[in-house]
């Protein structure tokens, strides 16, 4: 997939060193649910090769350089949990919003997603802004596991339903 500034593509084994370097930064890992800290190349390689059925994962590239990951896990009921991270050198430039918007459009139009859900840790206002820009609606307080910190933390939960203007026919295209 392409956006105005980004290319979203399959993640490959050769991405492991770059993923480990970017996601292994404490400021990135400590705000996610699934990234351990420290994060080794071996762990990144294992993650790349362990993507489960129902997971759609995209490498986010800017100017042919991997800058982050965005994707979702689709459940049988049509709900999908959205996740993303962008490497710290690329924060504040709108890349997370741009990538997540493209991934959600793909999910709604091509993958049969009825509703996206997501959450962010309460100490992550940047992710809150991304979620707001993507049109999510707040649904309640929650907790979220943080692998880097090895604990549950307060979080806020959101949802965004497939727009009514997207018909079933659009999903088939």
> Percentage of the chain with pLDDT > 90?
92
Task: Grade residue 164 by pLDDT with cuts at 50, 70 and 90.
Answer: confident
Which positions ≥6 away from 66 have C-beta within 8 Å? 15, 18, 19, 22, 59, 60
Residue 169 has what pLDDT?
47
> Per the domain annotation, does 39 fall within a domain?
yes
CA-closest candidate to residue 99, choices 149, 56, 148, 39: 56
Asked if residue 72 belongs to a domain, the reply is yes
CA dihedral 2, 15, 86, 160 (to 10 degrees): 60
**Per-residue model confidence as pLDDT tens digits over 94-146:** 999 999 999 999 999 999 999 999 999 999 999 999 999 999 999 999 999 99
- Name the percent of the chain lying above pLDDT 70: 95
**How confident is residue 173, by pLDDT bands cut at 50, 70 and 90?**
very low
The backbone torsions φ and ψ at residue 157, rounded to the nearest 5 degrees and listed phi first, read -110, 145
Provide the CATH number for the domain around residue 42: 3.40.630.30
Q: What are phi and psi of 91, to 5 degrees?
A: -70, 150
Q: Is residue 60 part of a domain?
A: yes
Q: What is the DSSP letter of 113?
A: -
Tens of pLDDT along 43-55? 999 999 999 988 9
Residue-number span of the structural domain to which 90 is assigned:
6-172
Peptide bond just before 38 cis, omega within 30 deg: yes
Backbone angles phi and psi of 154, in degrees to 5: -60, 140
Q: Are 39 and 33 in contact, with CB atoms under 8 Å apart?
A: no
Does 117 reside within a domain?
A: yes
Number of domains in the chain: 1
Query: For residues 148 and 143, what is the distance between their CA atoms, to the nearest angstrom?
Result: 15
Local confidence band at 165 (pLDDT 50, 70, 90 cut-offs): low
């Amino acid at each position: 997939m392409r956006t105005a500034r980004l290319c979203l593509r399959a993640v490959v084994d050769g991405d492991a060193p770059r993923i480990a370097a970017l996601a292994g930064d404490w400021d990135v890992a400590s705000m996610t649910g699934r990234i351990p800290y420290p994060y080794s190349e071996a762990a990144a390689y294992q993650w790349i090769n362990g993507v489960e059925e129902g997971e759609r994962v995209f490498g986010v590239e800017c100017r042919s350089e991997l800058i982050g990951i965005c994707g979702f896990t689709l459940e049988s009921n049509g709900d999908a949990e959205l996740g993303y991270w962008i490497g710290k050198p690329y924060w504040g430039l709108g890349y997370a919003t741009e990538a997540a918007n493209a991934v959600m459009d793909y999910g709604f139009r091509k993958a049969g997603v009825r509703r996206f859900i997501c959450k962010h840790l309460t100490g992550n206002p940047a992710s809150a802004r991304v979620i707001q820009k993507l049109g999510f609606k707040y649904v309640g307080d929650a907790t979220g596991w943080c692998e880097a910190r090895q604990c549950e933390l307060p979080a806020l939960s959101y949802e965004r339903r497939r727009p009514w203007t997207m018909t079933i026919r659009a999903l088939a295209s």
